[in-house]
Amino acid sequence: MMKLVRSLATAFVSLTIACGVHAQAKPQVVLLATGGTIAGAGATAANSATYQAAKVPVDKLIAGVPELAQVAQVRGEQVFQIASESFTNEHLLTLGKRVAALVKQPDVDGIVITHGTDTLEETAYFLNLTVHTDKPVVVVGSMRPSTALSADGVLNLLNAVTVAAARDSRAKGVLVVMNDEIHTGRDVSKSINIRTEAFKSPWGALGMVVEGKGYWFRAPAKRHTMNSEFDIEKISALPQVDIAYGYGNLNDIAYRAFAAKGAKALIHAGTGNGSVAAPVVPALRELRSQGVQIIRSARVVGGGFVLRNAEQPDDQYDWVVAHDLNPQKARILAMVALAHGADSKALQRMFLEY
């Protein structure tokens, strides 16, 4: 009888220890809050498009989704509390350096960044280029404030933590999770401003999150994170890069003004295949001779890319084409590349590789 009691006691202790180990083994995810609609509040539940962004602090975001505790051990940090259209280069650097520091910690398995949707794609791509880690880094936002009927932020946040906590999310670069879809931060862009399915990738999503599980269908093809030659820890400042928009009856005023104010590179958001209107070509050639990098992107939405030496003799003019990157993402890559000392030849290689 005593042997049986001892055996049962031993088994109970072992089970208790095993349960404790299992509980401790739950993934540890850090939630970095920066503001945006996901932290916004409207006057009434009917306000889904009219509201004040960046009002809810990170502790309330976490407390508002108790299901997070079933997925991971989540702790939060309030990095900023701003609407994302006010993100500056300094904000990018501060956030990037904090992410880079956290992913080095053994008690961090993944990072989730809550972010306003207006410039979410730019921040995601910046981190994708500059943070060296194979740990999941997931950027998430919402199109409706938490106070709205059918608010999307709660499920978006739960899905983001689910992806950040999963081992099969590793080594896929910085991800964006919105509307049940998993996108690469390199491709995804905000395509509409009032619907929950606002974020799309021209080459398709990487996967989906359905009822607490991620499903993957493809992987990023371009260089990122651990395979990147860029390093956030080596960037102390980002050079000025500006975007000038192409349209009918275009003139060179914006290009010259940006250069006069110190732009080191100009992204031409051209029509079609990054076309440059004839009256603007002389100004861009002149600015290039003065050391300003000229990068042809396209204002078109939904896919396609700018072909080198099509529309313009890029080799002759020493211009760069942005490949399939839209103007705002071309600006991010140009800043990072110039911060690492890239010339026009290196820039062109980088636009094809990243």
118 has binding-site annotation? yes
Catalytic annotation, pick one of 117, 119, 196, 271: 117
Domain that holds residue 209: 26-227
Residue 117: active-site member: yes
Catalytic annotation, pick one of 34, 37, 123, 147: 37
Residue 130: active-site member: no
Note whether residue 156 is domain-resident. yes
pLDDT for residue 147 = 83
Q: Are 147 and 50 within one domain?
A: yes
* Distance set, CA 78 to CA 15, 52, 158, 232 (Å): 38, 18, 18, 20
Q: Are 145 and 121 within one domain?
A: yes
Evaluate whether 155 touches 163 at the Cβ level (below 8 Å). Answer: no
Q: Are 163 and 268 within one domain?
A: no
pLDDT for residue 149 = 87
Q: Evaluate if residue 25 carries a pLDDT over 90.
A: no
Note whether residue 188 is domain-resident. yes
Structural domains of the chain, count:
2
Where residue 70 sits, what CATH number does that domain have? 3.40.50.1170
Region 13-36 average pLDDT: 71
Q: Evaluate if residue 22 carries a pLDDT over 60.
A: no
pLDDT for residue 47 = 81
pLDDT for residue 17 = 41
pLDDT for residue 168 = 97
pLDDT for residue 173 = 98
Confidence of residue 42 (pLDDT cuts 50, 70, 90): confident
pLDDT for residue 24 = 57
- Candidates 54, 121, 51, 49; CA nearest to 92 is 121
How many of the other CB atoms lie within 10 Å of CB of 206? 26
16 has binding-site annotation? no
Average pLDDT for the chain: 93
119 has binding-site annotation? no
Entry pTM: 0.91
**Considering 165, 198, 227, which residue would you say is the last residue of a domain?**
227
